[in-house]
Chain A
Amino acid sequence: MNKDIIGIDFGTTNSKMAYMLLDEPVVIENDQGSKITLSVVYFKNEKEFSIGEQAKHNQIIHPDKVVSSIKREMGTDYKKQVGRFKFPPEYIGALIFQKLIQDARERTGKTFYDAVVSVPANYSDSQRQAIMDAAEIAGINVVRLINEPTAAALAYGIREDRDRKVLVYDFGGGTFDVSILSVSSGFFDVDASTGEHRLGGDDLDTRIIAYITKALQKELG
């Protein structure tokens, strides 16, 4: 029985993966040697697609064939039309999961069948189910869905040894979330969680680009 479990952070903009190596969590790099993989899919046609950096290279030239921020559409009726086919968000998410698993296999030499996937604390049941379905399509068994703030708290070394309240501030590429966790009797409970789902580092980038463009236009005409 293979006991290796991969941890997947399926993000709006970037996705990451890690596994336990001799009781220590280790982040797995992708085929490009980068610790983050862009959550972008480019459909060259109905059968061919690429994921990550290569997909992003096509975002401007073929905006209709590139899907980004698919996490926002999880659990909705969104469909991506490519040729004759309409792909649901679960399928597009599955392609990203497949790519992550494949890269992890190449890097570590291990085949991961089981995974722990992190999801936003305020994700609804249907959204959580959509993530599970995406993983299942990719051939991964999700042993547990973990709330993102809980995962962040654990990563920062907050253990269940004493009762306390923790505020987790997560400013990601596409979303901004703030959660209050209470650690009691060895459990993490999400007391409150709120956030802005259309605000992230990417939006800051866009604003900075717009500001510089405006300033240049004003100066150079």
Chain B
Amino acid sequence: MVDPDITDLQKKAEHFESQYNAIKKEFKDFIETTRKNEELKKKDLQSDQAKKLLVIADSLCRMMNSAINPTCDAVRTVHENYHLNIEGMYQQVLSSGKLTPIDPQPGAIFDDTLHMAVGLEYNSKYPEDTIFSVVRRGYLRESQLIRPAEVIISKKPREPLPLQKPGMVTSIFNRIFPNRQKFDAITHDIDQLAHKESEHITRLEKEIAELEKKIEQNEEEIHDLSQIITEQADIQGQLEDDMQKLKDDLRTLTTHVREFERCISIRLHNNSLNLVEQMPRYQDPYQPGE
């Protein structure tokens, strides 16, 4: 015969054993899940890091796409070098983050796993529901989507709504109340006129605004031109003054030259007289001395 205490103890032992097994299984599951999650966390961390790089990649992308067309050759060369440098930096950023850009061509098919529609463009250039343009490039990291490419989708141009024919009830109503129909027609005409008038006013207002803008621009130009004219007049006056001074100088110079010439001629004359005086006198042998 088995002791009841032993039976109890056995039951307790079994209970604890089953509890232990359950906990052991749970712990094993937990370790397995943790191991699996470790890989996922690693991937998540890598994608988080890659996301941080996107800010730089976007800035570089914007700089590359800036439309500057310099006319000067020297500036163009500098600009081209600058462009190449930026492109190099962009490629470096992509390779350091192991990023692959998603840059679909216009007309490509929209793929919701890689692209995100951010706008619509009504045109007939590309087929319906295809990509019209890319607003912001998307990126993949080892086949994991970091950010979808933000794209504008091409849609067919909207057609005007067809005019609705009056139904039977409206026709009967119109026959019973012909004046009402006329009144409606007049009201409709008035509404249309008011609409046209308001459109006209809006257009005129726009034109007035444009004209005002132009007048303002012209006034600015006139102001600039008048300033230039004033400056030119000042320069002309200064030039005239200089000319007058030069003329005066020339006159003074001419006077001096003349005086100088006169002096020279006088001196030459005097010199010649002296020479004559200094010359030995001819003594007539037939004339008695003085």
Contact = CB atoms under 8 A, between A and B. Distances in A.
Contacts of B37: 107
Interface residues of chain B: helix, strand, loop or mixed (majority): mixed
A107 B40 contact: yes
Interface string A74-110: 0000000000000000000000000000000001111
A71 interface: no
A60 B40 contact: no
A148 interface: no
Contacts of A42: 112
Interface in A33-89: 33, 42, 50, 53-54, 56-61
A148 B265 CA distance: 125
A29 B116 contact: no
Contacts of B153: 60-61
Interface in A2-29: 21-22, 29
Contacts of A21: 30
B116 A57 contact: yes
Interface in B21-59: 29-30, 32-33, 36-37, 40, 43-44, 47
Contact of A60 (B33, B113, B120): B120
B117 A60 contact: yes
A50 B148 CA distance: 16
Interface in B102-147: 110, 112-113, 115-120, 129, 145
A21 B37 CA distance: 13
A109 B120 contact: no
Interface in B254-274: none
Contacts of B145: 32
Contacts of B43: 33
Contacts of A109: 29, 32-33, 36
Nearest to A59: B117
Contacts of A53: 148
A24 B54 CA distance: 35
Contacts of B115: 57
Contacts of B148: 53, 57
Contacts of A54: 112-113
B117 A33 contact: no
A42 B74 CA distance: 54
Contacts of A50: 112
Contacts of B40: 29, 33, 107
A40 to B, nearest CB: 12
Contacts of B47: 33
Contacts of B117: 57-61
Interface of A: 21-22, 29, 32-33, 42, 50, 53-54, 56-61, 107-110
Given A22-B30, A57-B117, 13 more contacts: A21-B30, A29-B40, A33-B47, A42-B112, A54-B113, A57-B112, A57-B116, A60-B119, A60-B153, A61-B110, A107-B40, A109-B29, A110-B33
Instruction: List the 6 shortest-distance A-B pairs measured between CB atoms, nearest first.
Output: A61-B117, A33-B44, A57-B116, A60-B117, A57-B112, A109-B33
